[in-house]
Structure 1
């Protein structure tokens, strides 16, 4: 367990909650309001913006976003031509926030439900793309979350990532892909080693170091959980 990293992430999350709520921003052509206990950093949500801008075109596609937060990525993809976006999050505040922003921007091709990954998603649903900006700081399985917002960043025992990779194929069309954004920090093989072990086809779409010490070093992967026909 990397104590320094956990402290770094907790400090960043806590600092994001110091302002008055709701707070407001203009981002990716959207008017965004951010509610308490929903993450939005001081750099106008730079990591979320980067993910949204680097997901391949989804025009005409059915998209599922896991961990939607305030709805920025889901709403951007919906506005950019996705036929429909289902936005989910474990945090009920994120669902309320996403729906408020959909209404605020008059975007009607987005729905949002509370769900722990796929648990509340209709088992008969199939999506062309699943997008997940995954919590990437691994902590012990018995990790004591101090606030709801911490669920956006910590993955107890790595089980969230394991469940994601095991279950995604059940919710994709035969040609569908999983878009996984992951903070590899100083270990750039953190994800690829796991994907190779699971024999999951994948490619790196984009990467960006947001901090000089690589504490925030985002990689975006396109993964094919189903074998090619």
Structure 2
């Protein structure tokens, strides 16, 4: 990922914070407020609309942002959604939107991917629309909202793929939204290493930024894998 591209993304995120907050949005039947330093993008709506039905499922969302995906699933049939994020701003925002929409079957906790997830709790579905702009390992995150876009060293993707199966219930599945623009095989190249099968559910190139080529995958542990 070139320095010009990194600076371009940083500029877009900085510009997104210049308006007054909170912002108010009507999306997928939800009345949402978006707080300062919390990620909001049409890509999240696209992911939410293309997830398979999760009626009766116990769901974990990593990186909940303002809560759009978690609340959409909780409102439309999931038995319970555990929404996590690395920033307290996002958690507070998701809780505010749960109250705003009177959605009770959601819990929020702060967690760096799976660091604070109870090892004995298993989920039918694990979802992450993850930050997928690769930056060097020593890259310094300059603001909370940058957690939504940058993956220093690519370690977030590796951690997620390695640790997800430990938190799945039998017959569970992982739903991963990822911008593959830098490398179209970045996900599939790693799956054998982590004994995961994959099915691409949907994909879309977003304009005007042709560098956003979002793929939505369903991943499942391979039976008999390590």
Counterpart position of 1:117 = 113
Note if contact 1:186-1:214 (Cα within 8 Å) is conserved in structure 2.
no
Note if contact 1:168-1:225 (Cα within 8 Å) is conserved in structure 2.
no
Match of 2:73 among 73, 77, 83: 77
Alignment of 1:1-229 (within 5 A): 1-40=1-40, 45-211=41-207, 214-225=210-221, 227=223
Once residues 12 and 211 of structure 1 are traced to their aligned partners in structure 2, the CA distance between those partners, rounded to angstroms, is: 14
TM-score (normalised: structure 1): 0.94
- In the TM superposition, residue 199 of structure 1 has moved relative to its aligned partner by 3.7
CA deviations on 1:173-196 (whole Å, 9 max, x unpaired) are: 121011000001153212111224
Note if contact 1:129-1:179 (Cα within 8 Å) is conserved in structure 2.
yes
Structure 1: 5+ residue stretches without partners: none
Q: How many residues align?
A: 225
Structure 2: 5+ residue stretches without partners: none
Once residues 38 and 228 of structure 1 are traced to their aligned partners in structure 2, the CA distance between those partners, rounded to angstroms, is: 40
Note if contact 1:169-1:226 (Cα within 8 Å) is conserved in structure 2.
no
Counterpart of 1:85 in 2: which secondary structure?
strand
Once residues 121 and 5 of structure 1 are traced to their aligned partners in structure 2, the CA distance between those partners, rounded to angstroms, is: 34
- In the TM superposition, residue 37 of structure 1 has moved relative to its aligned partner by 0.5
Note if contact 1:206-1:219 (Cα within 8 Å) is conserved in structure 2.
yes
Note if contact 2:195-2:222 (Cα within 8 Å) is conserved in structure 1.
no
Counterpart of 2:201 in 1: which secondary structure?
strand
Note if contact 1:209-1:218 (Cα within 8 Å) is conserved in structure 2.
yes
Once residues 210 and 168 of structure 1 are traced to their aligned partners in structure 2, the CA distance between those partners, rounded to angstroms, is: 28
Deviating 4+ runs (over 3 angstroms): 196-199
Note if contact 1:174-1:226 (Cα within 8 Å) is conserved in structure 2.
no
Counterpart of 1:25 in 2: which secondary structure?
strand
Once residues 35 and 78 of structure 1 are traced to their aligned partners in structure 2, the CA distance between those partners, rounded to angstroms, is: 21
- Residues 26, 118 of structure 1: alpha-carbon distance in 2 compared, 3 angstrom cutoff: same
